[in-house]
A and B are shown apart, each in its own frame.
Chain A
Amino acid sequence: NAGVTQTPKFRILKIGQSMTLQCAQDMNHNYMYWYRQDPGMGLKLIYYSVGAGITDKGEVPNGYNVSRSTTEDFPLRLELAAPSQTSVYFCASSYSKDRGTDTQYFGPGTRLTVL
């Protein structure tokens, strides 16, 4: 299993451009999440999804949109990129029945710079 995969690994955007960060998991997890990590800080939740077709806002959703058409994929859309969105973005998934816990497993991250 590949676990949680994210593409791209790095991206530089100009102010006002749009892009989609891709996230996929092959663990059949119901729950998926998007976090951002600013320099020297912990992670903050942007959006999450409890299943295909169901999404909800996290702590810092402004400037982002998500969709969840399949169990495996959870893309994050940035519209009109701003310098404040320069960050490292992590996708995660959870609900592993084997462990009996809701441990979240993270992808490798996407480093985004908006200039």
Chain B
Amino acid sequence: AQKITQTQPGMFVQEKEAVTLDCTYDTSDPSYGLFWYKQPSSGEMIFLIYQGSYDQQNATEGRYSLNFQKARKSANLVISASQLGDSAMYFCAMREGPISNFGNEKLTFGTGTRLTIIP
């Protein structure tokens, strides 16, 4: 089974609208971390937001928020008031196991969602 599933290969959203990018994950480890990265056409990987499995509140970073539903094993990225510069590939990734254990820092990535913002 896929550890990270992103079911939306591509999305088109009108500028200034909010957008939700889906991510579901599969792990039996009670301690894990979930990450979202943005990859613009220039190719670099830009860290957006992090959610720990024991965090009580959903993570927020500026216009980005993470809708974390632990029972459903979903970690959707929400971008409010989308901008043209948000057009990019977005990857969800997971670290299994607690931070402190050596070797647990490896990330498993989903296949990504290509977001296009329409003016």
Instruction: Produce 1/0 per residue, B36-59, CB < 8 A to A.
Output: 010000011111001010000000
Query: Residue A94 at the B interface, CB < 8 A?
Result: yes
Question: Which chain A residue lies CB-closest to B6?
Answer: A42
Complex interface: stretch among A60-68, A73-81, A96-104: A96-104
Which residues of B, 80-104, contact A by the 8 Å Cβ criterion? 91, 93, 95, 99, 102-103
Q: How many residues of B contact A (CB 8 A)?
A: 25
B-chain residues with CB within 8 Å of residue A44 when the two chains form the complex: 109
Contact between chains at A42 and B99 (CB < 8 Å): no
Query: Residue B111 at the A interface, CB < 8 A?
Result: yes
Count A-B contacts at CB 8 Å. Answer: 64
Q: Which among A40, A42, A50, A108 is the interface contact of B105 at CB below 8 angstroms?
A: A50
Query: Residue B107 at the A interface, CB < 8 A?
Result: yes
Q: How many residues of A contact B (CB 8 A)?
A: 28
Contact between chains at B99 and A101 (CB < 8 Å): yes
Contact between chains at B52 and A31 (CB < 8 Å): no
Assess A42 versus B111: contact at CB under 8 Å? Given A103-B35, A103-B50, A105-B47.
yes
Q: Which among A35, A104, A107, A109 is the interface contact of B47 at CB below 8 angstroms?
A: A104
Question: Which chain A residue lies CB-closest to B109?
Answer: A42
Assess A41 versus B111: contact at CB under 8 Å? Given A31-B105, A56-B103.
yes
Instruction: List 5 extra interface pairs beyond A33-B106, A103-B35, CB under 8 A.
Output: A31-B105, A44-B109, A56-B103, A102-B99, A104-B105
Residues of B within 8 A of A (CB): 4, 33, 35, 37, 43-47, 50, 52, 91, 93, 95, 99, 102-103, 105-112
Shortest Cβ-Cβ A-B pairs, 6 listed: A42-B109, A106-B45, A43-B109, A102-B99, A42-B111, A50-B102
